[in-house]
Amino acid sequence: MSTAILTYLFVGASFTLYIGIAIWSRAGTTKEFYVAGGGVHPIANGMATAADWMSAASFISMAGIIAFLGYDGSVYLLGWTGGYVLLALLLAPYLRKFGQFTVPDFIGERYYSRAARIVAVICLIFISFTYVAGQMRGVGIVFSRFLEVDITVGVIVGMGVVFIYAVLGGMKGITYTQVAQYCVLIFAYMVPAIFISILITGNPVPQLGLGATVADGSGLSVLAKLDKTLLDLGFSPYTEGSKATIDVFAITMALMVGTAGLPHVIVRFFTVPKVSDARLSAGYALIFIALLYTTAPAVAAFARLNFVETINNTSYAEAPGWFKNWEEIGLIGWIDKNEDGVIQYAAGAAFAGSPTYSDENGANGERGLTNAPIDSANEVYADRDIFVLANPEIASLPGWVIALVAAGGLAAALSTAAGLLLVVSTSISHDLLKKTLMPEITERQELLYARIAAAVAIGVAGYLGINPPGFVAQVVAFAFGLAAASLFPAILLGIFVKRMNKEGVIAGMLSGLIFTFAYIVFFKFVSPELNSSENWLWGISPEGIGTIGMLLNFLVAFSVSQATSPPPAHVQDLVDDIRVPTGAGVAHKH
């Protein structure tokens, strides 16, 4: 059976499973739509949280970034993992004890202010749509390569599947769908990693294979061989970093606190029956997440080594099929600069911009590239997002493994997209309409508005997937920076600082969000030619600027709160009550 048919079968079976679960668990009340009725078992919630959190950025992009950046790419691994620990220990149990549906709900009630609630909704929408753009791009990449359809068609199909289980099932449908998606994505990630680890090192455990000796008789370890190979091609050593220490710290911190401020992850802890279950499900989720995150560095190293050894100094006429398949959709490009018909992969940009093709092939077979060549020895462009998806093909693994990876990539992207879109729809229907603009609407009307908002949000997400603002993990990193600069300080201060008032938190959120958003837009979209360490504030890149935005948020919030009146006594009592460690009891609702 061909790989294409196997891919259709695997993806079709997984989509059928997701839709079936959505129909089985259709939400009938706002509580089921928003928080799955509050009765999800901690193990199931741990799996759903892991699937929600391990997005297309984790599945598709993270290993690709590490493969390209080497040591510098570890900031994503450290930041995202550390952030989850921060969330589990510092925020999740307290928010569950508070007992509301959403993050803006907490901020609106804690800061006794409609304005604070609206600002939180605006922050949440900014963050969620920035994040969901990366997920829908991931969906488009998988569809266009493995199902051989246009990226636009792939995104539309993905939108349709998410529409069915997010709009029908709400959080209840999404939760049980994400349990299935976690099983699919972790199996799809681990199987090729184990295969490739055995092929390269003879060790079936990828985590151990990363430090093992390569089974080619050279006597070198995987990392030593990779360092030597890359140095020979003019690249920096894989195991040495080039980023400034302050930027590494800023990016890691932004990713950590951004994770702890992500609304679609926080809302998962509202779906369990008790506060102690919130802590338990956080622990289970960390175990489930660790399976993928401890494997990613090995996948990255194996992929880069395989990529270099497979294509460098290979005649284009004899290039492997996977190279030409990815070339077909513009995620790999080759321009024959010295006109010898041989692929030369080395340090430096291959040409200006991403690959764009004319109708005619070049003299030696290259795909009619119209990009302006750059004066470097490198002739190859490779998009970072392809490495995990192409890894089984590069290693010549069986067709069913390639099909499995396609299903896993879609599971990772769709699970997070659904969680994000539900958070957006909930914030609009519950926080903006029910709690602010239209308090007189019935529960049935609120549920209808939630479904309409979800449908509109899916349409916007689809547009962003078809017209993406950047590669997956980079876009997601910006979402984390925005969350770090806006929502995280408001939540943390709301739990631990009784004196924090509505004036302080509103000023803090707005200052953090505006500063971080403006910095990112300026360097990434307005003046990308200035995007270098010489021009960055204190040498901090746009990916790490959320840390400065967070500090600005804290500074403004404290300054304004000290200059204005303290919160009412009942709000200060509420803060005390949230922090009472009655972990095993049923969450108290306000």
Lowest mean pLDDT among 19-23, 166-170, 187-191, 209-213: 166-170
* pLDDT tens per residue across span 218-252: 788 888 888 888 888 888 888 887 788 898 889 88
Q: What is the largest CA-CA distance in the chain?
A: 79
Say whether pLDDT at 28 is over 70. no
The per-residue pLDDT for 586 is 47
Write the pLDDT tens digit of every residue in 329-370.
Answer: 777 888 888 788 888 888 888 887 667 776 666 666 777 677
Question: From CA 299, how far away is CA 307, in angstroms rounded?
Answer: 12
The arithmetic mean of pLDDT across residues 126-154, rounded, is: 75
Average pLDDT over residues 280-289: 85
Structure letter (DSSP) for residue 586: B
The pLDDT value recorded for residue 30 is 58
Q: What single letter denotes the amino acid at residue 339? A: E
Burial code (b: 16+ CB inside 10 Å, e: under 16) for 50-83 equals bbbbbbbbbbbbbbbbbbbbbbbbbbbbbbbbbb
Helix, strand, coil shares, percent, the chain, to 5: 70, 5, 25
State the pLDDT at residue 359.
65
**Adjacent-strand bridge partners of 343:** 314
- pLDDT of 509 above 50: yes
Q: What is the mean pLDDT of residues 371-375?
A: 77
Q: How many residues does the chain have?
A: 590
Could you tell me the CA-to-CA distances from 19 to 45, 46, 174, 540 in Å, in that order?
19, 21, 10, 44
Higher pLDDT, 308 or 91: 308
pLDDT at 590: 47
More confident residue, 257 or 466: 257
Say if CB 301 and CB 222 are below 8 A apart. yes
For the cut 90, the answer to whether the pLDDT of residue 56 exceeds it is no
What tens digit of pLDDT does each residue of 532-589 get?
A: 888 888 888 888 899 999 999 999 999 999 999 888 888 888 888 877 655 444 444 4
- Architecture per CATH, domain 3-303+397-469, reads as Orthogonal Bundle (1.10)
Return the domain boundaries, the chain: 3-303+397-469, 332-382
pLDDT band at 511 (very low <50, low <70, confident <90, very high): very high
Distances in whole angstroms, Cα of residue 115 to Cα of each of 11, 120, 121, 205, 449: 44, 9, 10, 52, 21
Report the amino acid identity of residue 72.
Answer: D
Q: Judge contact between 367 and 331, C-beta under 8 A.
A: no
Per-residue confidence (pLDDT) for residue 587, from 0 to 100: 46
Give the Cβ contact number of residue 313 at 10 Å: 10
- How many C-beta atoms lie closer than 10 Å to residue 107's C-beta? 28
In percent, the amount of the chain with pLDDT more than 70 equals: 89
Query: What single-letter amino acid sits at 206?
Result: P
**CB–CB of 127/482 below 8 Å?**
yes
Query: How many angstroms from the chain centroid is the CA of residue 223?
Result: 26
> What pLDDT was estimated at residue 363?
67
Burial code (b: 16+ CB inside 10 Å, e: under 16) for 539-550 equals: ebbbbbbbbbbb
Q: What is the pLDDT of residue 585?
A: 46
The pTM is what?
0.78
CA angle 141, 146, 152 (to 5 degrees): 45
Among 191-195, 368-372, 390-394, 531-535, the range of highest mean pLDDT: 191-195
Cβ proximity of 515 and 555 under 8 Å: no
Query: Token pair 């996948």 is at which residue?
Result: 299
Of 558 and 65, the structure prediction assigns the larger pLDDT to 558
pLDDT at 293 over 90: no
